[in-house]
Amino acid sequence: MLRTAAILSLVLASAAAAAVAALRARRPPAPPSDLPAAAASEGGLRLSARFANERVVEARFLTRGCTAAIAAGSALTEWMAGKSCGELATLAAADIEMAVGGLEPASKHAAVLCVDAVRQLLASAALPGRGAGK
């Protein structure tokens, strides 16, 4: 009986650790301070990206918006990976809507927030050929 209780205790501890790890993995990352960041809209969507060789190597977002804004921000950061500044500049709200499988009319603002955030990021980022140096 004691051995069974010990095994059960180990299994529960392992399951609890796995649950905590899963919750941490689902939490949207905060934009790191060493990435150039742009804030789009009042309390809308904050976007950060790290560039190498004039391409996005890492992108993150932070929003306090609705579920649609969270989904759109997540789709945006996935879309941005590997893109050049020129490719980022071509982003349209329809691209984000398609990436999330469509948005309800009341939620279309989420795609617009993404486009605004990319435009502000490009305007404020210190990139070769854009802004003040590297």
Q: Is residue 80 part of a domain?
A: yes
Cα 19 to Cα 126: distance, rounded to the nearest angstrom: 40
Q: Is residue 32 part of a domain?
A: no
| CATH code assigned at 73 | 3.90.1010.10
Q: Is residue 26 part of a domain?
A: no
Domain span at residue 72 reads 37-124
pTM above threshold 0.95: no
Structure tokens at 32: 């790191």
Q: Is residue 109 part of a domain?
A: yes
Q: Is residue 17 part of a domain?
A: no
Domain count, the chain: 1
Q: pLDDT of the chain along its 134 residues, tens only?
A: 555 555 545 444 555 555 555 555 555 555 544 444 443 333 578 888 888 888 999 999 988 878 888 999 999 999 999 999 999 999 999 999 999 999 999 889 999 999 999 998 888 865 555 544 34
Q: Is residue 63 part of a domain?
A: yes
Cα 76 to Cα 103: distance, rounded to the nearest angstrom: 14
